[in-house]
């Protein structure tokens, strides 16, 4: 069975595979979102609440292990990464909950790294107060705001948020809904079940990863891995808003797009295709909250007059939190020169059949990633492998014929063996 923990680590890889398999790199650079140029931004968010005094990680206190991991990571931050540090629960030691739940501040500003200055700031930290994870995430999102760079928050904590009703998971969903492409990785230091569930939810809401940490080297490696991941070149998705009909749908060029879709919703987008070109599209919808079993996603290519061209669909049964499908539509070559530049507007419809218990919030909608590409079509129709029905009958015929021939051959061999046996 696919667990949520394994899934969270694999969501990003699957979406990247879809984008890579369907979208050539040169197409993205030429017609879609611009290649990553701005310096990636990372903010390390460290829990400095009173519980970080516990000495249960390799015989050391949690805060001591975290400081050592930070120092090691600071020594290896890639030069192109702008890094900052934010704390939560580091300053207020009192019992006033209202004050304690505002105890988060930026320890080191996001920007070019001065390793000595950053290490000195970390060395001053001592376990103090509350655990306002939600406010810390809100603050970190503001610290990383602006520009088109990769943005990543790495949250290190040993306990769940103590400042309800501000739910950190809802904060993460709100951050994701803003379309600022900010990923949150979470690391739990010897977490209990409630902490593990909360940190998993935060990570999943933004496409990040969750890791349970029980050893010093493990923490250092995981934080370094998150920082290095932010430095890797990526295709930056573009936020878009699908419409309720094709007529009012946004016009998309080849690229990677993000959107939000509520339960059972239909959203429309438009893509222009010329004769001799092939439209390729794929969509992934992530169930970032508890949903009922048995659901599906549908991607349709439709003419402006409502005639379906091709579709792709996929069904799920609750064992995974991500469901994807895709389609390909090769537009035939023009019959004469007068039609060779005639553009056809293809309407893409993304639908889902998710449902959820009444206690689950339906807003914001679930995260959607849509990959669109338009390339030169294949020279021969036989080069096309389309998703869905419509172009698979020849394969069905081959399979039926092969089965018939295999059956006849096996029957002949069986008769021959019986005849030989009777002769002997």
Which of 174, 204, 231 is the last residue in one of the domains?
231
Asked whether residue 217 falls in the same domain as residue 313, the answer is: no
Q: Using 50, 70 and 90 to split pLDDT, how confident is the model at 321?
A: low
- If one compares 336 and 99, the residue with the highest pLDDT of the two is 99
Asked whether residue 155 falls in the same domain as residue 295, the answer is: no
Among the listed residues 73, 191, 75, 61, the one whose alpha carbon sits nearest the alpha carbon of residue 126: 61
* Residue 25: per-residue pLDDT: 41
Q: Provide the CA 345 distance to its chain's centre, in angstroms.
A: 28
Tokens of 420: 């030989």
CA atoms within 13 A on the CB side of 229: 22
Query: Is 375 among the domain residues?
Result: yes
Asked whether residue 122 falls in the same domain as residue 94, the answer is: yes
Question: What range does the domain containing 104 cover?
Answer: 36-231
Which of 231, 254, 287 is the last residue in one of the domains?
231
- If one compares 319 and 325, the residue with the highest pLDDT of the two is 325
- If one compares 21 and 270, the residue with the highest pLDDT of the two is 270
Query: Domain holding 348: CATH number?
Result: 2.60.120.380
CA distance 363 to 407: 56
Asked whether residue 42 falls in the same domain as residue 160, the answer is: yes
Query: Is 273 among the domain residues?
Result: yes
Query: Is 399 among the domain residues?
Result: no
CA distance 331 to 377: 7
Q: Using 50, 70 and 90 to split pLDDT, how confident is the model at 225?
A: confident
Structure confidence by residue, pLDDT tens digits, 228-287: 888 875 566 788 999 999 999 999 999 889 899 999 999 999 999 999 888 999 998 988
Query: Is 9 among the domain residues?
Result: no
Find the mean pLDDT for residues 110-114. 94
pLDDT of residue 53 exceeding 60, the answer is: yes
Asked whether residue 152 falls in the same domain as residue 284, the answer is: no
Contact between 260 and 368 (Cβ < 8 Å): yes
Asked whether residue 223 falls in the same domain as residue 246, the answer is: no
Q: Using 50, 70 and 90 to split pLDDT, how confident is the model at 24?
A: very low
Asked whether residue 220 falls in the same domain as residue 296, the answer is: no
Residue 321 makes CB contacts below 8 A (sequence gap 6+) with 4, 7, 11, 204, 286, 287, 288
Q: Using 50, 70 and 90 to split pLDDT, how confident is the model at 102?
A: very high
Asked whether residue 252 falls in the same domain as residue 297, the answer is: yes
* Residue 210: per-residue pLDDT: 86
Asked whether residue 167 falls in the same domain as residue 277, the answer is: no
Number of domains observed in the structure of the chain: 2
Query: Domain holding 150: CATH number?
Result: 3.40.50.410
CA distance 11 to 26: 24
Q: Which helix (H) or strand (E) holds 409?
A: helix 393-423
* Residue 320: per-residue pLDDT: 58
* Residue 322: per-residue pLDDT: 76
Asked whether residue 197 falls in the same domain as residue 57, the answer is: yes
Find the mean pLDDT for residues 397-408. 67
* Residue 236: per-residue pLDDT: 63
* Residue 381: per-residue pLDDT: 42
Q: What share of the chain is helix, strand, coil (3-state, %, to 5)?
A: 35, 30, 35
Query: 67-81, 129-143, 208-222, 306-320: which range is least confident on average?
Result: 306-320
Query: Is 30 among the domain residues?
Result: no
Q: Using 50, 70 and 90 to split pLDDT, how confident is the model at 399?
A: low
What percentage of the chain carries pLDDT values higher than 70?
79
Highest mean pLDDT among 94-98, 145-149, 179-183 belongs to 94-98
Asked whether residue 207 falls in the same domain as residue 266, the answer is: no
Find the mean pLDDT for residues 6-29. 41
Query: Is 364 among the domain residues?
Result: yes
* Residue 147: per-residue pLDDT: 76
* Residue 6: per-residue pLDDT: 39
Please give the mean pLDDT across all residues of the chain.
Answer: 82
Burial of 223 (0-12, 13-18, 19+ CB in 10 A): buried
Query: Is 246 among the domain residues?
Result: yes
* Residues paired with residue 298 on neighbouring β-strands, in sequence order: 313, 351
What percentage of the chain carries pLDDT values higher than 90?
45
Q: Is the peptide bond before 261 cis (omega within 30 degrees of 0)?
A: no
DSSP annotation string for 205-221: HTT--EEEE-SHHHHHH
pLDDT of residue 33 exceeding 60, the answer is: no
Structure confidence by residue, pLDDT tens digits, 327-374: 989 988 877 776 777 899 999 999 999 998 888 888 888 889 999 988
* Residue 230: per-residue pLDDT: 82
* Residue 10: per-residue pLDDT: 43
Asked whether residue 217 falls in the same domain as residue 356, the answer is: no
Query: Is 422 among the domain residues?
Result: no
pLDDT of residue 121 exceeding 90, the answer is: yes
């Amino acid at each position: 069975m696919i667990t949520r923990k394994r899934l969270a680590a694999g969501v990003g890889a699957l979406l990247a595979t879809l984008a890579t398999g369907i979208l050539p790199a040169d197409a993205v650079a030429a017609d879609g979102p611009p290649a990553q140029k701005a310096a990636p931004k990372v903010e390390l968010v460290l829990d400095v609440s009173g519980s970080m005094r516990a000495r249960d990680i390799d015989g050391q206190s949690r805060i001591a292990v975290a400081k050592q991991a930070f120092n090691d990571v600071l020594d290896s931050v890639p030069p192109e990464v702008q890094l900052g540090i934010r704390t939560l629960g580091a300053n207020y030691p009192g019992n006033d909950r209202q004050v304690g739940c505002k105890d988060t501040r930026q320890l080191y500003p996001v920007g070019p790294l001065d390793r000595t200055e950053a290490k000195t700031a970390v060395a001053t930290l001592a376990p103090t107060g509350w655990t306002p994870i939600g406010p810390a995430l809100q603050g970190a999102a503001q610290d990383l705001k602006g520009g088109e760079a990769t943005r990543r928050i790495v949250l290190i904590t040993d306990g769940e948020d103590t400042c309800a009703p501000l739910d950190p998971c809802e904060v993460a969903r709100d951050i994701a809904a803003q379309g600022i492409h900010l990923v949150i990785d979470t690391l739990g230091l010897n977490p209990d079940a409630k902490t593990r569930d909360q940190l998993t939810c935060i990570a999943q809401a933004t496409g990040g990863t969750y890791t349970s940490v029980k050893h010093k080297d493990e923490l250092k490696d995981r934080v370094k891995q998150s920082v290095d991941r932010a430095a890797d070149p990526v295709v930056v998705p573009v936020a878009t808003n699908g419409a309720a009909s094709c007529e009012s749908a946004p016009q998309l060029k080849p690229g990677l797009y993000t959107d939000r879709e509520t339960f059972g919703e239909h959203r429309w987008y438009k893509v222009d295709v010329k004769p001799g070109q092939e439209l390729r599209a794929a969509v992934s919808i992530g169930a970032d909250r508890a949903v009922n079993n048995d659901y599906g996603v549908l991607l349709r290519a439709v003419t402006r007059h409502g005639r379906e061209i091709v579709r792709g669909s996929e069904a799920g049964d609750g064992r995974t939190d991500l469901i994807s499908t895709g389609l390909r539509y090769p537009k035939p070559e023009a019959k004469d020169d007068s039609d060779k530049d005639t553009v056809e507007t293809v309407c893409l419809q993304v639908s889902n059949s998710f449902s959820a218990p009444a206690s689950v919030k339906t807003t914001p909608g679930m995260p959607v990633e849509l990959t669109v590409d338009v390339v030169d079509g294949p020279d021969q129709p036989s080069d096309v492998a389309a998703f869905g029905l419509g172009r698979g009958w020849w394969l069905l015929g081959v399979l039926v014929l092969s089965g018939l021939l295999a059956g006849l051959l096996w029957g002949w061999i069986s008769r021959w063996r019986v005849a030989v046996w009777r002769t002997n």
